[in-house]
């Protein structure tokens, strides 16, 4: 990595500590945190070769991000935000990158957020959207589920639900910095808490509490790390080496492989939570985003 990239990385990490990590340690109102995340999203430019439309899919609001070339490939993405923040807007730029690079239509779902809507609201919304894609004629072999942070818990739970209900499974799942264990018991939660420039256990716990409520944190319904993972589609996991959720990714990889799932876990040295959003700033983030696009193409026959 060049000196220029090193300086840019240090500058952005310092900015994240000030604008993201510090506020997340404070008991600020949910509305304030959501607004702050929406404002921060303006840092990321949406590429011009992708069409952005507000749509409804299965009765759930979403943004449809379409590449210029017509395609029968689709990504259903459930955004992150610790279960209580985030939106299609905050993830619009990243979704546009997926659309253009993977040559797939991306549905960025506006699923219902906690604490107003606890479990299973987000799961129900994901299921409704997936069923709607099938009803629209999309071949499940051409559908990939995407998620980042808490969105990874939602798509993993959705895949388990689809399997248990005997519904057609998607072609694959990709996960960015998965938050799939609400117990927050992994070692990296503690060992990397000072190195992580973004996340705090306090913020993760606050968000997850609004979702699981009276359900125990180790219950696989809300912590799909502990679910039966047998028979699930191929899985791509990307995680930064400096985020407190590192062990969530490593443990999920281990458990999924033990269950017979094909897993590719990619660890990016010196990177942080959802660093792929910074694909316009760092070659490594650009390369990671390309790896996601490659995964989509390979598993949908593109």
Q: Which residues are catalytic?
A: 149, 243
CB contact set of 2 (below 8 Å; sequence gap of 6+)? none
Count other Cβ atoms within 10 Å, centred on residue 32. Answer: 11
Tokens of 46: 């949406």
Nearest Cα neighbor of 131 from 93, 170, 101 is 170
Count other Cβ atoms within 10 Å, centred on residue 129. Answer: 23
Nearest Cα neighbor of 41 from 7, 85, 71, 8 is 85
Nearest Cα neighbor of 145 from 106, 119, 184 is 106
| Angle, CA of 203, 278 and 38, to the nearest 5° | 50
* Whether the bond into 154 is cis, omega within 30 of 0: no
Contact 134, 165 (CB under 8 A): no
The DSSP bridge partners found for residue 172 are 144, 234
Helix (H) or strand (E) holding 107: strand 105-109
Distances (CA, A) of 287 to 20, 48, 172, 183, 257: 24, 20, 20, 32, 25
Nearest Cα neighbor of 150 from 85, 239, 215 is 85
DSSP 278-296: GTTT-HHHHHHHHHHHHHH
């Amino acid at each position: 990595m060049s000196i220029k990239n090193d300086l840019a990385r240090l500058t952005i990490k310092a900015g994240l500590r000030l604008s993201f990590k510090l506020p997340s340690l404070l008991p600020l109102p949910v509305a304030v945190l959501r607004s702050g995340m929406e404002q921060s999203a303006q840092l990321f430019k949406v590429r011009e070769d992708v069409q952005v439309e507000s749509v409804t899919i299965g009765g759930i609001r979403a943004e449809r991000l379409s590449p210029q070339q017509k395609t029968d490939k689709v990504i259903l993405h459930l955004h992150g935000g610790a279960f209580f923040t985030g939106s299609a807007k905050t993830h619009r730029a990243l979704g546009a990158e997926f659309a253009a690079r993977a040559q797939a239509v991306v549905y960025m779902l506006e699923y219902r957020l906690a604490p107003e809507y606890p479990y299973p609201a987000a799961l129900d919304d994901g299921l409704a959207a997936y069923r709607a894609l099938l009803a629209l004629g999309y071949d499940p072999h051409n559908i990939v589920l995407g998620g980042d942070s808490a969105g990874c818990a939602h798509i993993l739970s959705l895949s388990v639900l689809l399997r248990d209900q005997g519904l057609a499974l998607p072609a694959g799942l990709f996960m960015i910095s998965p938050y799939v264990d609400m117990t927050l018991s992994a070692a990296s939660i503690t060992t990397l808490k000072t190195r992580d420039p973004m996340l705090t256990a306090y913020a993760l716990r606050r968000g997850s509490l609004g979702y699981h409520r009276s359900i125990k944190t180790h219950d696989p319904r809300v912590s799909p790390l502990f679910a039966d993972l047998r028979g699930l589609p191929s899985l791509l996991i990307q995680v930064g080496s400096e985020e407190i959720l590192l062990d969530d990714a490593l443990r999920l990889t281990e458990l999924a492989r033990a269950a017979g799932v094909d897993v590719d876990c990619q660890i990016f040295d010196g990177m942080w939570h959802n660093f792929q959003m910074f694909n316009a700033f760092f070659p490594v983030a650009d390369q990671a985003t390309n790896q996601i696009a490659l995964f989509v193409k390979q598993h949908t026959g593109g």
